Amino acid sequence: MDFPFSLRKIIHVDMDAFYASVEQHDNPALRGKAIAVGGGYRGVVSAASYEARKYGVRSAMPSKTAKEKCPHLIFVPTRFARYKEISKQIREIFYEYTDLVEPLSLDEAYLDVTENKKEIESANQIAKEIRQKIFDKTGLTASAGISINKFLAKVASDINKPNGQKTIHPEKVEAFLEELPVEKFYGVGKVTANKMFSLGMYKGKDIKKRSIEDLTRMFGKSGSYYYNVVRGIHLSEVKPHRIQKSVAVERTFFEDLFDQQQIDEKLQNLSEELHTRLQKNNILGRTLTLKIKYKDFSLYTRSFTKDEYFSTVEEFYNTGKKLWELRPFDKAVRLLGLSVSHLNTEEKKQISVQLKIPFEEFQEGIN
């Protein structure tokens, strides 16, 4: 397959059931057991161990549903300070090999190792070393995907989970994508996958048969994305300086709230917490968004944008109250949240580096 662009060596590293694995590592009594991090009464699961996933327990699942699927499920409180501590250790390992690291979250990141600090030709070997160092330093396992772009590396990292890795060689990209089930394409959710099924598209080769005009008509702006990635084209670079676009705080309540005084108290608490978090990171924002999740799980958001940055707890609280008054329903509330966007961080220039390497060199170097 001839690529109309210079090839790169991209690794996607993804920790295995990170939050749950941290809890099992720190508390040996939890090892081998079905656990859910977060959740509990009225909450939502933040992460599930592999033992719990066998029963269908997933992140973002209501705790009640998770318990129904796995009656012996153990709920463990979240410890974000601990997860951040370990995440920092993992990133330090990444930077031993390259400065082109793009964190996606605490537990996953893209690395561009086309040129790397240790001058190791094989990206596959780099991924092996990184995974071994993570295990030696933290006791946790990671999986990795290696290929010519971020899309393929992301897809590949999920293939041999947990504690494995997968390389998609340049000469095998076309065949791999043609046989890849559409639901495995990164960016294709359940709804889109079902729509593709209804249109007779089950694998990459089925998408590939469609013109860019057809795909755009069927899927809007995403159509051109599908047209390109099925051909191995994904030009997004690894961005080492990702710009934070929002800061949010939210709370799920043990009992549904309906009383106005309770709502006011929660908005005040959220305003104070949001202000503290922003101050700690020297962040300011111009848009405040109120998020409401009702008892029936319906979701409502409303935003207000100022010409100047929000700067005080009172501004957050007063604006939050005004947004609350615009709500369309008087129903019991399950969750409240406040978030700030249009941040001052977006004004900072982002430095990106594009590295090129001849196809022949890449073909020999990646294993």
Q: Which strand ranges, in their side-by-side order, compose the sheet holding 333-343?
A: 246-257, 333-343, 285-294, 299-305
- Smallest CA-to-CA distance from 157 within 199, 104, 196 is with 104
Among candidate residues 23, 51, 102, 108, the one labeled active-site is 108
CA torsion through residues 144, 86, 253, 73, sign: positive
CA dihedral 233, 237, 243, 247 (to 10 degrees): 40
Q: Please, are residues 72 and 34 in contact by the beta-carbon 8 Å criterion?
A: yes
CA torsion through residues 265, 268, 274, 276, sign: negative
Is residue 255 part of the annotated active site? The answer reads: no
Strand residue runs (E) in 63-213: 74-76, 101-105, 108-112, 142-147, 165-167
Q: Please, are residues 13 and 102 in contact by the beta-carbon 8 Å criterion?
A: no
For residue 363, what are the contacts with CB-CB under 8 A and spacing of at least 6?
A: 169, 170, 171
DSSP state of 328: S
Question: Which residue numbers are catalytic?
Answer: 108
